[in-house]
Amino acid sequence: MQKQPDPGTCHYRYTTDKQPLPDPKCTPGATNPKVTQATLKTTICSSGYTKGIRPPVSITGREKTANAASYGYKGSLRDYEYDHLISLQLGGDPNDPRNLWVEPPSPGHKPDAGPNNPKDVVETKLKTAICSGKTDLVKAQQAIAHDWTTALKSLGLPEKAAGGEPTAVKDPDDG
C-alpha cells in the first residue's frame, strides 16, 4: 500500500459547472516511465494493456480509504471512484499516490451505471487521438493532469460529435 497525504491536507476544487478536480498539490499526476511516444504500440495502443498493469483491489481498497481521509472525506465511498488522474490508458502510473484521488461523482454521473463518467469519455478520446497520431502523448498527459474538463479543447480536439453526443465511450480495459 502506498502512503497517502496526511488526513485533511487535500482539498477538492470544482469547475464552474461543478465537475470535480483534485488538489494539484496532493494529486498532480504521475506517469508510467514505460509508456513513451516510442512505446505506444506495445503499451497504451495495445488492446488489454491496462488490465495487465492495474493494481489489485486488495491494495487499492485500503488506499482509497486513506486517500479519502487525505481529502477530509468521511462519508460512504460507494459513489466515489478511486481514480487515476492521468488514466492508465493515457500512460498514467498505476499506483503512485500522486496520480490517484478519490473522485466525487460528477453531476449526472450514476455510479455503477456503465461508462457515463464524463472524465472517462475525455480519457478515451485522448487515447484515440494519441494512438491515431492526432496529439502527442506528453501533451495529452499534461492537459488532463491540469484540468480534465478542458483537456480536449486545450489540445484543439473536438469535444462532441455531430448531434452533441460524446464521440467516444470509456475504454473497457480502463475499468
pLDDT digits (tens, 9 = 90+) for 52-101: 898 888 888 888 888 999 999 888 888 788 899 999 999 999 989 999 99
Is-contact 26 10, C-beta < 8 A?
yes
Q: What was the pLDDT predicted at 116? A: 63
Lowest mean pLDDT among 42-46, 79-83, 114-118, 125-129: 114-118
Question: Does residue 132 lie within any of the structural domains?
Answer: yes
Domain range for 128 is: 13-174
Query: Does the pLDDT at position 115 exceed 50?
Result: yes
Query: Does the pLDDT at position 166 exceed 60?
Result: no
Q: How confident is the model at residue 164 (pLDDT cuts 50, 70, 90)?
A: very low
User: Between vectors from CA 66 to CA 90 and to CA 35, what angle results, nearest 5°?
Assistant: 20
Question: Does residue 8 lie within any of the structural domains?
Answer: no
Question: Does residue 165 lie within any of the structural domains?
Answer: yes
Q: How many folded domains does the chain comprise?
A: 1
Q: What was the pLDDT predicted at 131? A: 95
Question: Does residue 2 lie within any of the structural domains?
Answer: no
Question: Does residue 3 lie within any of the structural domains?
Answer: no
Query: What dihedral angle (degrees, nearest 10) is formed by the CA atoms of 13, 105, 170, 164?
Result: -80
**Position 13, amino acid:** R
Question: Does residue 7 lie within any of the structural domains?
Answer: no
